[in-house]
Every structure is written in structure tokens, then in C-alpha cells.
Amino acid sequence: MDDIDSMKKTYLILLLIIILASCLRFFNILKVPPSLYWDEAAIGYNAYSILKTGKDEWGIPFPVLFKSFGDYKAPLYIYIVSLSEIVLGPTKLAVRTPSAVAGIISVLGIFLLTTELFMKFEIKHKDKLALLASFLMATSSWAIQFSRAGFEANVAIMLVIFGVWLFFKAIVQPRLLILSIILFVLSIYAYHSAKIFTPLLVFILIIINWHFLWGKRLIFITSLIVGLIIFLPYIPTYFSTEGRMRILSENVFTLKGDAIKNLVQNYTVQFSSDFLFFKGDQEGRHSVKMLGELYIWQLPFILIGIYKLIKENNKLSVILFSWLLIGAVPAALTRVSPHAVRGMMMLPVWELITVIGFGAVLSRRRLILGLIVIPVIIFSLALYLRIYYFYYPTINAADWQDGQEETVNYLKSVEGKYDRFFLSTDLSYIYLLFYTKYDPARLQRSNHNISVLGKYEYFSSESIQPKVNANEKILTVIPDWMGTSKQTIKDIYMINGNRAFRIYEY
């Protein structure tokens, strides 16, 4: 009876944590972050195009890679958003909801994974520590940041967490191995960094558990065959110019100086205290830039957890350290490091190491945890949320291309009053396509001609003199920095008070 009551209590607390995670991910999601950045808009429009025509904006039927702004996006998130748009339409909410839901499901996933691993490796207080791991994932600034916008990495990390959980569940229920491998393969379809990370992680898991897997060789080989079949359409992207475009243009070996030194520096900086605990990623879309990716209070527990793992020196130590070290590889291979998105696969391990350290202290210093650590945890979360909800949308408005959505919505509201709209290319075409719900079939028939989209015509920054026909009424949109001698009839302001665009009649 006591075990049943304890289990009910655990599940009730887990439910409350999941509700907390849901609130932190969905509260005011349409305004914070302040606007869709153009990759989100491209995801939304291509999902809309798939939904309406079965082709992407370029007319490619159900592509494995989606061309966008001279680069190519992994496909899974776009297909998921297309399902979201069935219910929500081509909207900001439809683009961001799958990422938020993935973030919430990851909270459940880290609970299940922690319970499974700690049970297998006989770590005390597994239920309490699993709840703590789920709380950490629910309240992590790193996780919240990427759960509230259309980041493909968020789906990939969810798939990896559940893939690892099912992998270890398969030791008792071998048939679950097939589902585990499927989830690993899908993570590669979700985000480019997983192309490197996931195969390495799966290889390590297989090596560590080889004796068991070979003992169940029929289900093991079947799982690999099923995974390979699902993976086959994506294999050419490893060798194609399209699939390698990002790594070719942004790889660490294009930096000046000694290539090996740059690679080592890029790798080690993913573990730096500035990145993890004090400053975070300095890209405005990736963090609030005032705090680290992890909370500072986690540092002593991480150090204790690392010490404990090294001291134990068992399979769990190898798994977690391997996962952590592999997780830094995708960011290290690119020009920009540290990088919170490309290094996001490290997050679950940092949380697991934290709870291992927490567990070591819990067995000896419960009073200290209650009187000191809990208030610090609450304060740290409150500080992050204050910065994120009240200051971040203002300070980092430009990082999210704020003003683009407002401009297009204004143009839509006055569309019937004007014959043509003359637009600077600073107003990205993808926002016009997405927010006007421009017919994807019409775009495809034009061979992706984005210079003229119905009434909307783009001009180059060098010349803004439209060819005006007699009695034609034209509205012109220019970025604020260009200036104009014409009387402005509307200014579009970013949230921080800076003008993004000026609109006038010609």
C-alpha cells in the first residue's frame, strides 16, 4: 500500500511539473519572442505549401531537404508544422506549437530516462531524482529558449531522449529496440546536427551493450534493417552539395589560423564557464545573453556529479560522458562556437549529472538542501523569467526581425486602397508569402519569381523610383535607414522603439 501511495504521489508531482513546463512554454508565446524570425516564417510557408500542393515553395514534391535562403533545412519539423497548420492554419502559433509540445514531452522523457538508468545502475532515490531531472528540464533556460520558437533542434532532442530510454527498456523488452532505432533515425531527419551526433551516440550504445545485443541478434539485426530502410532516403544528403552546404560554408576549417587549434578551441569553449553559467550564447535568438545556459546553482552539483561518475567508473559513467563529449562535436565543427542550438544535445546530460550530484548531497545534507538550495533555485528561475519576459523582447527585438510581421499586416489592411505596393527587399519576401497566405501553386507556376507577388513589387536598394502609370496609386515601403523626402504616412516600430520601416504614398 505504501508503494502504491508513493507511486501516486510521484505521478502527481510529475503531472504538476508537466503543467509548469506547459505554462512556461505557451504563456504569451505569440509575443515572446516578439516575432517569427525568417527561418520560422520559411518553415511555416513551406509547411503551408506542402499542405496545399504537396510541394515546397520551389515546386519540389515532398522533399527530403527544403531549400531556403540559399541553404537547406532538415524536413521533419516542416512536415510536423504542416500537420499543425491543418488545425491552426498558417499562423505563428502553428509554427511554434510543435517545438513547445516537444519541449513538454521532453520533460516526461527525461523523467522516464532517469528512472530507467538509475534503476539499472542502482542509484538511490531514483524517483526523487527523476522528478528533479524533469523539473530541471521544465525550468531550464536553455530548454525554454528553444521551446518557444520554431527550432528543429527541440524535436531532435526529444526523439534522442526517448530513443535512449527505449534502448535501455529493450534490455527487458527486446522488441522496443525497433522503436528506439526508429526514433534515432527520425532525430536525424529533424535537425542537421543530429546527422553527426546520433550515429556516434548509437555506435557508443551498441558497443557498450554489445553482449546483450548479440544475444538478441535477430531483433537487433531486424532493428538495424528497419532503421536503414527509413534512413535510406536521407543518406544521399550526407554526400550531396545541398546536404553539405551549411558545413561547407561554415565549417571550422574555413577560419583563419591553425585548423586544429581552431577545432580544439571551438570544442572546449562549449564547456566554458562563461557559456554554461555566466553569459550563455551571445546570439540574440539563442539566449538572453545575461545568464548562462545552465543555472549557476547547478555548478557545485555538476562538479559533485562528475566526481561521483569518475569514482564509480561504470557503464553509466561511460554513457553520460560519451553523450556529453559527442554532443559538443557539431558546434565544434562550425565557425561559430559556443553555439547553444548545435550543442543542445548536451543539455539532458548536464541535467542528469546535476541530479547525480544532488543525490550524493541528498543522502547526507537534507537540511542544507531545504534551507539554502531550494530558495536559490526559485530565485534563479524567477530572475531568468523576469529577464526573458520583460526585457528580452525589447532588447533583442531586431534579432527576431521584429517589424516585418507588423508591416505586412498593415499592408494587408490597406490592400484595397492601392493599385500597387513598392517594397524594399529589406522586407523579406518570406514574410509576405506567409502572412498574406500567398497561393503556393501560383508561386510555383512563376518559377519562384519573388520580384512580383500580385500587387507587391520589390525594388533594389539602389533605386526606389517606381514606374507609375496614370491615375495609379502606389504605397512604398522602405527601411528606416534609407530615408525619404516623401511624407511618411506610417512608421512601423520595433518593440524597442526603433523604426523598422517607413511607409509613404507615391
Q: Are residues 62 and 184 in the same domain?
A: yes
Nearest-angstrom CA–CA distance, 329 and 351: 19
- What confidence score (pLDDT) does residue 360 get? 85
Average pLDDT over residues 206-217: 93
pLDDT at 466: 62
196: confidence class by pLDDT, cuts 50, 70, 90: very high
Instruction: Output the pLDDT for position 174.
Output: 94
Domain membership of residue 18 (yes or no) is no
Give me 114's grid cell: 532517469
Residue 293 lies in a domain: yes
Residue finishing a domain among 359, 377, 395:
395
373 assigned to some structural domain: yes
Q: Phi and psi (nearest 5°) for 422?
A: -110, 115
Query: Does the residue 16 lie in any domain?
Result: no
Residue 485: pLDDT over 80: no
Structural domain harbouring 158: 27-395
Does residue 473 share a domain with residue 373? no
Q: Where are the alpha helices (DSSP H) in 328-480?
A: 329-332, 347-362, 366-368, 374-386, 392-395, 404-413, 429-435, 440-445
More confident residue, 77 or 241: 77
Three-state SS sequence of 106-149: HHHHHHHHHHHHHHHCCCCCHHHHHHHHHHHHHHCHHHHHHHCC
User: Mean pLDDT over residues 227-253, rounded?
Assistant: 80
417/278 same-domain check: no
pLDDT exceeds 70 at position 85: yes
Residue 449 lies in a domain: yes
Strand partners, 453: 456
Q: What values do phi and psi take at 62, rounded to 5?
A: 35, 65
Q: What ranges make up the beta strands (E) of 409-495? A: 420-424, 452-453, 456-459, 474-479, 488-493
pLDDT on residue 422: 92
**What percentage of the chain reaches a pLDDT higher than 90?**
73
pLDDT at 245: 62
**Chain segment 374-429, per-residue pLDDT in tens:** 889 999 999 999 999 999 999 999 999 999 999 999 999 999 999 999 999 899 99
What's the whole-number mean pLDDT along residues 483-493?
Answer: 82
Encode pLDDT of 293-337 as tens digits: 999 999 999 999 999 999 988 999 999 999 999 999 999 988 888
- If asked whether residues 416 and 388 sit together in one domain, one would say no
My answer on whether 228 and 307 are in the same domain is yes
pLDDT at 252: 75
Residue pLDDT, tens place only, 11-63: 999 999 999 999 999 999 999 999 999 999 999 999 999 999 999 999 999 99
On whether residue 11 sits in a domain, the answer given is no
**What's residue 11's pLDDT?**
93
On whether both 122 and 257 belong to a single domain, the answer is: yes
User: Of the candidates 126, 142, 65, 129, which has an alpha carbon nearest to the alpha carbon of residue 342?
Assistant: 142
The residue from 376, 395, 414 where one domain ends is: 395
Among 114-118, 202-206, 410-414, 469-473, which is the least confidently predicted range? 469-473
User: Is pLDDT of 142 > 60?
Assistant: yes
pLDDT at 138: 98
Same domain, 289 and 353: yes
Do residue 354 and residue 476 come from a single domain? Answer: no
Last residue of a domain, one of 330, 361, 395: 395
Same domain, 344 and 208: yes
Q: Taking the CB of residue 371, how many other CB atoms lie within 10 A of it? A: 10
Query: Are both 429 and 348 inside the same structural domain?
Result: no
Domain-located, residue 156: yes
pLDDT score recorded for residue 243: 66
Question: Do β-strands 420-424 and 474-479 pair in parallel, antiparallel, or remain unpaired?
Answer: parallel
How far apart, in whole angstroms, are the C-alpha atoms of residue 47 and residue 83? Answer: 8
> Does 302 or 5 have the greater pLDDT score?
302
Q: Does the pLDDT of residue 368 top 70, yes or no?
A: no
Choose among 430, 478, 438, 434: nearest CA to 455. 438
- Asked whether residue 17 is domain-assigned, the answer is no
Specify the higher pLDDT residue, 173 or 335.
173
Pairing of strands 499-505, 66-68: unpaired
Count of domains observed in the chain: 2
pLDDT tens readout for residues 88-99:
999 999 999 999
pLDDT at 363: 67
Regarding whether 412 and 343 lie in a shared domain, the answer is no
Report pLDDT for 244. 65
Report the distance separating Cα 95 and Cα 154, nearest Å. Answer: 13
Q: pLDDT tens-digit profile of 418-475?
A: 999 999 989 999 999 999 999 999 999 999 999 999 999 998 765 556 666 768 889 9
Same domain, 388 and 434: no
Q: What is the mean pLDDT of the chain?
A: 91
Q: Whole-angstrom Cα distance, residue 190 to residue 188?
A: 5
Q: What percent of the chain has pLDDT over 70?
A: 94
pTM for the predicted model, two decimal places: 0.94
- Residue 246 scores a pLDDT above 70: no
